[in-house]
Structures are given as structure tokens and as C-alpha cells.
A and B are shown apart, each in its own frame.
Chain A
Amino acid sequence: DAGVTQSPTHLIKTRGQQVTLRCSPKSGHDTVSWYQQALGQGPQFIFQYYEEEERQRGNFPDRFSGHQFPNYSSELNVNALLLGDSALYLCASSLGASQGDQPQHFGDGTRLSIL
């Protein structure tokens, strides 16, 4: 049973560029959440996708956007990259709200470095 998979594992970009990160949820999960983890900090919630729509959003600017596909996989897009966007980007999957109390399960993340 495959867990949450993310690609790529590492990425280097320069300021002003755009980046797309990808996530495949755990088998049977239909909800994908994205988190940003700066060095030495706990992860911070960016947004969540369920039924191909953004359902909840944390305190992140519009430069951060996403998409969910019919197979429940998801993408995170970041435009106009800033040095401060350097971080580990984590994807977590879970069952939908109708399933009641359910933990989220994380992938190992994409390490994004901005030069």
C-alpha cells in the first residue's frame, strides 16, 4: 500500500521563477493538504483540496495556488518566487470530512531552494 508520494524531492530555482510541486495521496484518500516548513519551524498550513476545489486556506499570498485532479493527486504552484519561499513543502492526505475523525498522513516533502 503506497503512502503519500511527492516529486521532485529537491528543486533549485532563482528569484522570480515559477515552480510546480506534485503529490499523490495515499491509496483510498481523497483530500490533499499542503504545508510549508521553514528551517527550524513546524509545518504551516497553506491550503487544502477536496473534490477538486480549494476548501480551506491558510495565511499565504495568492502567489501560492493549487489544483486537484480527478484521481485525487494534487499540484502546488508558486509564482514569482522569493528567497523566503525556500522551505520544505509537505503534502498530507486524508479521508474527507464525511469520514469523521481521521489523521492526515504526510509525504517526505520537496526541498525547494531559491537562489
Chain B
Amino acid sequence: DAKTTQPTSMDCAEGRAANLPCNHSTISGNEYVYWYRQIHSQGPQYIIHGLKNNETNEMASLIITEDRKSSTLILPHATLRDTAVYYCIVRVGSGNTPLVFGKGTRLSVIA
């Protein structure tokens, strides 16, 4: 079973920041927080991951609370192309560890 809890759906106005929360209260010390998104009819796309420090890349920022029990994915300027299902996954840091997906958050970006 997935070790994360996410809202089922969220809306965001185009051009505004989209903040997607994720709870992972049972996360272990060696588990990373990964975010993927899946646009309709495509495979999941890797966005970002982190262990305990905040991370930023060209797609998004990841904010992890100090106790590591929750995190927030931030899309700074959402566009219509960011409409997708976003999955938050906790996973031991290894390229071979399988991903356990929950149902994710369906983000709708509205013009």
C-alpha cells in the first residue's frame, strides 16, 4: 500500500503557483520523497525528489517539513499543460526499489 496521503483533486488558476500537499507520517530515515506526474494517455513523468532538504529544479520546487512527515510540491507558474495527476511517493533511495503509487492528486489548471 502507498505510504502517502494526497487530496483527490485541486484546481489552480493559470499563471498562479500550484501547491500540492502530501502527508507521509510514517516515512523512514532512509526514504526519499519522489514526485511524478501523469498527463492523460502518457507515462508518468519524473519531476523531483528529496531526502530532507528543499530541492528545486527547472520544473518545480519541493519543500519538506523539518520532521519529514509532510511535503509540498510547488509549480511556480502553472500553465494549462500542467493539468495532470500528481503522485507523491516515498521510496528507499535506490534505482532498483519499485515505486508504490497511490491514487495521486488530479490538478486542473484553469484559464
A interface residues with partner B (beta carbon < 8 Å): 4, 31, 33, 35, 41-45, 48, 50, 55-56, 58, 90, 92, 94-97, 99-109
Contacts and interface: CB of A to CB of B under 8 A. Distances in A.
B96 A43 contact: no
A50 B96 contact: yes
Query: How many B residues are at the interface, by size bracket?
Result: 20 to 34
Contacts of A58: 98
> A-B pairs with the 8 shortest C-beta distances?
A42-B101, A102-B95, A101-B93, A106-B43, A94-B95, A45-B98, A97-B96, A95-B95
Contact of B32 (A42, A45, A101, A109): A101
B50 to A, nearest CB: 10
B93 A106 contact: no
Nearest to A111: B41
Interface of B: 2, 32, 34, 36, 41-46, 49, 51, 87, 93-96, 98-104
Given A94-B96, A95-B95, A96-B96, A44 B44 contact: no
Given A90-B44, A103-B49, A109-B43, A45 B100 contact: yes
Given A103-B46, A106-B43, A106-B44, A44 B95 contact: no
A43 B93 contact: no
B101 A44 contact: yes
B98 to A, nearest CB: 4
Per DSSP, chain B at the interface is: loop
Contacts, number: 71
A41 B103 contact: yes
Nearest to A106: B43
B94 A43 contact: no
11 contacts: A4-B43, A33-B98, A45-B99, A48-B96, A90-B43, A96-B95, A97-B94, A100-B95, A101-B95, A106-B36, A106-B44
Nearest to B49: A103
Given A42-B104, A43-B99, A45-B99, A100 B94 contact: yes
Contacts of A4: 43
Nearest to B44: A106
